[in-house]
Structure 1
Amino acid sequence: MFAVADASKKPKKIKKVKKVIKPAAPALVTTTLDSAADSEGYYNVILGEQLDGGRYQVFSSLGKGMFANVVRARVLQPEPGEQQGKEVAIKIVRCQESMYKAGLKEVQMLNKLREADPEDKKHIVRMERSFEHRGHLCIVFESMSMNLREVVKRFGKDVGLNIRAVRAYAHQLFLALSLLKKVGVMHADIKPDNILVNEQKTVLKLCDLGSASDASENDITPYLVSRFYRAPEIILGYPYDPALDIWSIGCTLYELYTGKILFPGRSNNQMLLLMMELKGRFNSKMIKKAKFGDDYFDEMGGFNSVEKDRVLGNDVVKKVHISKPSRDLRARLLPSTSVKMKEDESKLLMSFIDLLDKCLALDPARRISPKEALTHPFIRG
């Protein structure tokens, strides 16, 4: 009697359990995936979380960029010769196919640069290894202290850094660029945010090769490089090469010394106008060869300047004819005549102005090379 009663209840029980389990299983998977990344594919960082099978433990978030977010972590399970508790920075690439591919390309570039600089003397941030975590590519880097934007903010807000500090940083940046040139790589996003320094602020490393490419890859795109550091050839759609990084370094060094952005243009159009105000007009040969030359210049070399109408607030195009610079680097960087400078400081500042002038040649073919920059009086002393 008991047995019969149990048998009749059993199928009902199984039916009930099945009903509960079936919808729960996929829901569990979805929750797990959703908690790993947000709607834009950025990894949801959990402090204290362990990555790579417990090898690393996350202890702080360093923020996010276009391609990834970055965390600081400690090594819990060291490799032979590695120190336990050592700090590393881990770049967690966004969970999107295009970002993942870009991340793999960056790993390839970093390996190439590490092999070309085994003694770590060329000031490119060291990649230690890479791994995957919950669908995200993770790249492990040596830990540095802060970026140059933070250094200027903290130690030179609106006034800039000491010229000798700028010289030391410039020397290291041109060493980094000499390595990039040697292996045929363009960084294509040099700016203070992508240059890290150590705790003592004495050593810098160029980082974030997410936009880097082979020197032979130069697809015309007007938005390569962050706008304030974007070379004129990029904006004009003129064939570009590694000289685009020299331009970015020129803009960066000016900013380090003054604490101010050299070309704070709101658009590519305004960027070109600011460049001409500093360096004079573009040569007609360069404009003719540029893919977007006609968008900015008329047949007579007049510049189509897009400006905001002060009354209506809409964009209006004004013809601007620039022949000579209105305020060159010397006028911007030399102190007023009332300020007395020591002879050695004055000499150093003049050589700095000369170096910047050579970095910021409008024609990329006329820009200084990393090798020439390393022997320049400002660097050589």
Structure 2
Amino acid sequence: MAPSQPQPRTSTLKRKRPAAAASYRSETQVDSTTGRVREVIVIDDTPSPAPPAPMSITPSTLSASAAVSSTYSNGVRTRAQVAAEASGSRLAMAPPTAKRRKKDSNPTPNVSGVNGLPSSTGSALQRKAIAGRAYYQKPAATYTNGTTSTASRTREAGPSYDDKEGHYIIQAGDVIGVPLDRIVRLLGQGTFGKVVEALDISTRTMVAVKIIRSIPKYRDASKIEIRVLKTLKQHDPTNKHKCIHLIEWFDYRNHICIVSELLGKCIYDFLKENNFAPFPRRHIQDFARQILSSVAFLHELKLVHTDLKPENILLVHNDYRLASVPSAVGTGSKRSAPTSKMILANTDVRLIDFGSATFESEYHSSVVCTRHYRAPEIILSLGWSYPCDAFSLGCILVEFYTGVALFQTHDNLEHLAMMEAVMGPMPPSLARKAAKAKSEFFKDGAKLDWPPRSKKVTSASKKEVKATRPLADIIPATDIINTRFQDLVRKLLRFDPQQRITVADALRHPFFDLTIPHEL
């Protein structure tokens, strides 16, 4: 919400001139023409100048200084203002006290609106859009490029530049960092902070800037991300493995800012705008090959991504064409009406968001991964490593094929029950080990307690688990392409991480030997 403009003041009351008081004094002056010294009498009868009357603000005045007033609200001086100050312009007057911008009244998706998605798209799509997807003070103005640190331009002292949650308040035309990056628009927001599109004034190129929240734990995580990004760029300078590349980073007003190349939208946003229509199988193969290569590269560097999901896979280009396809919604008629589907013109992608990436030899948090893509060993507190990335990739590939998330749940036991519905019963050896760590999830020794006897479960939850289909139904083996694709996904989704296929081996799966024709 834009900050409210101050009401114009039109009062122009005149001030009374003070009474004049005369005084006399003699001075000697040198005549500039003759060079002779002469004595003169000086009469001091000029009153002190009266204070200037308040400037009357009119619509024309406001229009002439629109750019100035818009930046004064956040305390930033534009280049035009600096030039006006140097020339003595009235537009260069001191800015009014900045007001805190109001927080967006609806920053996250809600059930009824689903982020602008029409309710007619169906409950499954609404649940997909809603579930688990909340989309991303201190004037410490320093710029750091890893080796040097210099003071950057600062705003005049005023209120905090953050909202109450520590997010930087974004305003179009704002200028951050050294060299200066001018903010153009907000691209997205997450728990970590915000991502903005910005113009790098020094190179005249558009970049993406990830502005981390001014909260210690997020600042600490961002420093780990910077360390990971530097490692990736060091070992892959030509970006063969298609991970996002770090351009620079800096610390601005207590916000770590990470600058990278400007890419297209994330795959989840493309799915949503495409009414969650599945991707063509050739595109799925292209995506799978690239993402598996990216993750295999991470694993070679002893890194686990831990947060693989469609939101963290960006398209390089957003271009698409429209194709007519039969409607998937049954209307009872013999012939369903055709509908339009967006088909990408370019399937190049980049893997992003290494804020949760963990070196194998370093501390592992007990819970990682976004819920929909979380491996069973994490839910069961059995420890995790590289195989958890492979499981997430299996979930993502199914989502590419169907258009919706494979596991749409927020409850651990329900999640495990859905896994058994898709993947088959949990192996007895894994179940016995898990029953020791999470006894509340099991009954009769090593059998999943679903529906649970210890607590009441809603009928909706039971229906969701019952409606979850086996993998053979989700990806039917109708031809050689589906047969091999189903086999690849099954090996990525195995319950036991020790039996799960590695990402490097998945890249060598026969599915990638196929030449898949363009189907649309």
Aligned: 1:145 with 2:264: yes
Aligned: 1:246 with 2:364: no
Partner of residue 88 from structure 1, selected from 207, 216, 225: 207
Give the drift of 1:54: 4.9
- Structure 2 distance, partners of 1:126, 1:357, is 32
- Structure 2 distance, partners of 1:171, 1:32, is 51
- Structure 1 distance, partners of 2:167, 2:404, is 32
SS of residue paired to 1:261: coil
Aligned: 1:305 with 2:430: no
Tell me what 1:275 maps to.
419
The aligned runs of 1:8-87 (5 Å cut-off) are 32=157, 34-78=159-203, 84=204, 86-87=205-206
Tell me what 1:117 maps to.
236
SS of residue paired to 1:330: helix
What's the CA shift string for 1:14-46, capped at 9, x where partnerless? Answer: xxxxxxxxxx9xxx9999574311111111111
The aligned runs of 1:316-355 (5 Å cut-off) are 327-334=469-476, 346-355=479-488
SS of residue paired to 1:53: coil
Give the drift of 1:119: 1.3
SS of residue paired to 1:74: strand
Match for 2:279: what amino acid?
L
Give the drift of 1:299: 4.0
Give the drift of 1:56: 1.0
Aligned: 1:181 with 2:326: no
SS of residue paired to 2:169: coil
State the percentage of identical aligned residues.
29
Give the drift of 1:266: 2.6
Tell me what 1:233 maps to.
377
Tell me what 2:505 maps to.
372
Tell me what 1:135 maps to.
254
SS of residue paired to 1:36: coil
Tell me what 2:400 maps to.
256
In structure 1, stretches of 5+ residues that fail to align are 1-23, 79-83, 321-325, 336-340
Give the drift of 1:306: 5.6
- Structure 2 distance, partners of 1:113, 1:314, is 48
Cα 1:105–1:162 shift into 2, 3 Å: same
Match for 2:316: what amino acid?
N
- Structure 2 distance, partners of 1:158, 1:144, is 21
> Is the Cα–Cα contact under 8 Å of residues 193 and 212 in structure 2 kept in the other structure?
yes
- Structure 2 distance, partners of 1:34, 1:165, is 49
Give the aligned CA root-mean-square deviation in angstroms. 2.8
Tell me what 1:15 maps to.
none
TM-score (normalizing by structure 1): 0.80
Cα 1:72–1:347 shift into 2, 3 Å: same
Give the drift of 1:151: 1.9
What's the CA shift string for 1:252-293, capped at 9, x where partnerless? Answer: 111011102111123111110000111122223323434633
Tell me what 2:283 maps to.
165
What's the CA shift string for 1:142-183, capped at 9, x where partnerless? Answer: 11110010122234x343010000000000001101110111
Cα 1:314–1:300 shift into 2, 3 Å: closer
Match for 2:165: what amino acid?
E
Give the drift of 1:314: 5.4
Tell me what 1:203 maps to.
348
> Is the Cα–Cα contact under 8 Å of residues 329 and 353 in structure 1 kept in the other structure?
yes
SS of residue paired to 1:364: coil
Tell me what 1:284 maps to.
428
Give the drift of 1:218: 5.7
Tell me what 1:14 maps to.
none
- Structure 1 distance, partners of 2:281, 2:180, is 42
Partner of residue 99 from structure 1, selected from 218, 231, 237: 218
Give the drift of 1:366: 1.1
What's the CA shift string for 1:361-380, capped at 9, x where partnerless? Answer: 11111111122111111123
TM-score (normalizing by structure 2): 0.59
What's the CA shift string for 1:111-133, capped at 9, x where partnerless? Answer: 11111111111011111110011
SS of residue paired to 1:366: coil
SS of residue paired to 2:486: helix
> Is the Cα–Cα contact under 8 Å of residues 207 and 262 in structure 2 kept in the other structure?
yes
Match for 2:166: what amino acid?
G
In structure 2, stretches of 5+ residues that fail to align are 1-96, 98-136, 140-155, 320-345, 463-467, 515-520
Moved more, 114-123 or 280-289: 280-289
Tell me what 2:327 maps to.
none
Give the drift of 1:295: 2.1
Cα 1:134–1:367 shift into 2, 3 Å: same
- Structure 2 distance, partners of 1:188, 1:29, is 31
Kindly indicate which of the two structures has a greater share of residues assigned to helix: 1
> Is the Cα–Cα contact under 8 Å of residues 388 and 497 in structure 2 kept in the other structure?
yes
> Is the Cα–Cα contact under 8 Å of residues 227 and 268 in structure 1 kept in the other structure?
no
Give the drift of 1:305: 2.9
Higher-Rg member (1/2):
2
Give the drift of 1:245: 0.6
Number of aligned positions between the proteins: 330
Give the drift of 1:220: 5.6
What's the CA shift string for 1:292-314, capped at 9, x where partnerless? Answer: 331211243232236799xxx95
